[in-house]
Structure 1
Amino acid sequence: MKNDEPLFERRVLLRTAVCLGAVYAVGALVRDQTAPSGRQAPRAAPARPAAGPAAGAGAGVRGSRPLGPASYRLRPLTAHAPQKYRPALPPVRRRPILQLPPTDRSMVLTFDDGPDPRYTPAILRTLRRHDVRAMFFVCGGMAAHNRDLLREIADDGHVVGNHSWSHPLLTRLRRPTIAAELGRTSDIVARTTGVAPVWFRAPYGAWNRWAFEIGAELGMEPLAWTVDTLDWTEPGTGTIIRRVLDGAGPGVVVLSHDAGGDRSQSVQALRTYLPELLDAGYGITLPALPRY
């Protein structure tokens, strides 16, 4: 029997080890099922509203690499995004808004490409003289060099819109480049005026699907126009005036420019056609964001 004792002791030790191992394995399994773990099976993504924009990529986790100002604007659904950079409310559009609802004799005046210290101040003085508000779709590069003028536009009660950073043809750009053009411009406007743009206009009126999607992710509505003065061709002050007055009507959106070239004709034309529009009973107003 003595020869069997070591064998018996080894069997006891082996059984004890097996039991302890089983207990440890069960405990580990319980911990894995009850404690948060990066190895858990991913939860099903919540369904997005049918009309809502595509969600941004998930980022903004504490301890991760900080995102640049243009980057976090493109992630509006993250918990750490500042409140003013809210998730996009409008659905992604397939075409821009062309005019206001023609319910009264109201028109919208818009100026693109600025701000330019050579022409924008004169336009602001004319608008101020007649107590009229307009929309200025600014280029980020111009805004960055004329931040005091950008603040003056906003302080006068005008709407500051997004017209990209460098005025490229968006339809020839890749999505990340479009995002940078629009995102950087919204950032400089928000940092300067305290309010991020809620309207944007594609340079040359050239939109594509990516531009609509990115604009919606940034919380902006696309606005086009119904009357193009073609003032960038410098057709003469009288021609600009005639185009505005001939195209006047309820809901009309007028396109002019306060930068991008010699805009002295645009400045002079505004001094003439604005009081004529007011005398004809037109109200110069600002567009309201659509309700959804």
Structure 2
Amino acid sequence: MSRARKAVLLGVVVIAVGLTGRAAAQSTPGEPVAAPVSAPASAPAPVKAKPAPSKSATKAPAPPKKPVKGPQATGRSISYAGGPAGSRTMTGSKGIALTFDDGPDPATTPQLLRMLRQQHVKATFCLVGKNAAKFPDLVRQIVKDGHTLCNHTWDHSLKIGKDPEGKIRSDLMRTNNAILRAVPKARIKYFRAPGGNFTPRLVSVANKLHMSSIYWKLDPRDWDHKKGESSAAHRSRVIATIEKHAHPGSIILSHDYAQPDTIAAYRTLLPYLRKRYQLIALP
């Protein structure tokens, strides 16, 4: 190549380099430079937006519930227990339960049943086993009239609570069997110790036989005939005691066995109590 041609080519190269530098100098600072085609840049991962908090999450937490105290805590309107060895003194509702012990009695029980029927009142009869065995027709009539049955031991032993467990169980089962012979499908859900002489052992045995032990809240002592007290005075005392001390939920103790004055007193008491209270048989 001639010197002249080399000189021309060198001049062209110098001019080209100068133009490239001027173009680079005139470009805007920070302008992105395209990546080479052979190595394309990957697109950045999209940033997920945080979800807006739900309405429930923005609510203030509810204040803690106050603990339930008193009758509502047990689900009962009135306390059941209160008698010896945890026996029941109350019905557990506003209803009053009239309970009659020691029968059935062939002279007085039919009179009482007739009065209760006339007044549309249901009661609870605590039956002595040997009396139930002797007068099964009266047991059947008690059940037929819709009254509740209660085991009151075989022969009204006041010391049964001190007997060994096996002997207690035999006595209570013997009494239940006498009742069931009269009414095979009878429900015997309650037990009452003679004299209210409950002991933990006695209550435990009754419970194992599926019977709840009932005491009383009101005892008018209709069984207690004081020396020199006339029948009229006795009836007046029983009536006055029950009228004064009866209140909703009470279990009232009375006797239909060999207590004609009690039957006479209830001729006055039944209408009086019906007007003021709900009278119920223990369920």
Q: Where on the TM-score scale, by shorter chain, does this alignment land: which range?
A: 0.5 to 0.7
Give the match for residue 155 of structure 1.
144
Give the match for residue 228 of structure 1.
219
Percent identity of equivalent pairs: 33
1:113 aligned onto 2:102: yes
Paired with 2:260 and 2:138, the residues of 1 have a C-alpha distance of 18
Q: Secondary structure at the match of 2:100?
A: strand
Aligned residues: 191
Cα shift at 1:213: 1.6
Paired with 1:234 and 1:141, the residues of 2 have a C-alpha distance of 24
Q: Secondary structure at the match of 2:121?
A: coil
Unmatched segments (≥5 aa) in structure 1:
1-92
Q: Deviations over 1:95-125 (max 9, x none)?
A: 10110235x3x21100000000011001101
Q: CA RMSD in A?
A: 1.5
Give the match for residue 160 of structure 2.
170
Give the match for residue 279 of structure 2.
284
Q: Deviations over 1:34-53 (max 9, x none)?
A: xxxxxxxxxxxxxxxxxxxx
Paired with 1:246 and 1:177, the residues of 2 have a C-alpha distance of 40
Q: Secondary structure at the match of 1:195?
A: coil
Q: Which amino acid aligns with 2:213?
A: P
Give the match for residue 180 of structure 2.
190
Larger Rg: 2
Retained in 2: the 8 A contact 1:186–1:196? no
Cα shift at 1:287: 2.6
TM-score between the two structures when normalised by the length of structure 2: 0.65
Give the match for residue 237 of structure 2.
239
Structure 1 residue corresponding to 2:207, chosen from 194, 213, 216: 216
Q: Secondary structure at the match of 1:199?
A: strand
Paired with 1:152 and 1:171, the residues of 2 have a C-alpha distance of 30
Q: Secondary structure at the match of 1:129?
A: helix
Paired with 1:150 and 1:163, the residues of 2 have a C-alpha distance of 13
Paired with 2:250 and 2:87, the residues of 1 have a C-alpha distance of 14
TM-score between the two structures when normalised by the length of structure 1: 0.63
Unmatched segments (≥5 aa) in structure 2:
1-83, 227-233
Paired with 1:150 and 1:242, the residues of 2 have a C-alpha distance of 30
Paired with 1:282 and 1:184, the residues of 2 have a C-alpha distance of 36
Q: Which amino acid aligns with 1:188?
A: A
Q: Deviations over 1:112-171 (max 9, x none)?
A: 000000110011011001000000000000000000011000100000110000111223
Q: Secondary structure at the match of 1:190?
A: helix
Structure 2 residue corresponding to 1:266, chosen from 253, 262, 266: 262
Cα shift at 1:187: 1.2
